[in-house]
Amino acid sequence: MIDVGVGLVLTIGVTGAQMAVFGPQVVVASATFGLLAIVIQVFALVLLRPVLRAPLPKLMQRWGMGMGLRALGVVLFAVAVGVNRELFPPLPTAFGYLGVIVPLLFMETRYLR
């Protein structure tokens, strides 16, 4: 699946950029949430693909489930930052997640054509 490869490249790029700015202590946070974003995106596409030609209510239901998974990623971000702020500093953790999930979300539109 091409999204996994693109997601890995994005994760490496975002983590490397953050490491250059914030230092090596952010690698775990950035990489963990970049990988989480990849997993969420893959599951969202698995939910969406079977219903691309289905009636609109079924398509929207599955699309909404994928968006719910992405929102779950935001909840996991809040939990991780709240539980261990040293391992998961807020800004690098957020950049790790959003820097991967947002481009992958825009790439998802190619499946809707």
Task: Return per-residue pLDDT of the chain as tens, 113 residues.
Answer: 667 999 999 999 999 999 999 999 999 999 999 999 999 999 999 999 899 899 999 999 999 999 999 999 999 999 999 999 999 999 999 999 999 999 999 988 876 66
Task: Please give the angle made by the CA atoms of 94, 99 and 105, to the nearest 5 degrees.
Answer: 115
Q: Please say whether the beta carbons of 92 and 21 come within 8 A.
A: no
Asked whether residue 31 is domain-assigned, the answer is: yes
Q: What are phi and psi of 27, to 5 degrees?
A: -60, -45
Asked whether residue 28 is domain-assigned, the answer is: yes
Asked whether residue 113 is domain-assigned, the answer is: no
What are the DSSP E strand ranges found in the chain? Answer: none
Asked whether residue 18 is domain-assigned, the answer is: yes
Residues of the domain holding 34? 2-108
Sign, Cα dihedral of 39, 41, 43, 49: negative
Total tally of structural domains belonging to the chain: 1
Asked whether residue 52 is domain-assigned, the answer is: yes
pTM: 0.92
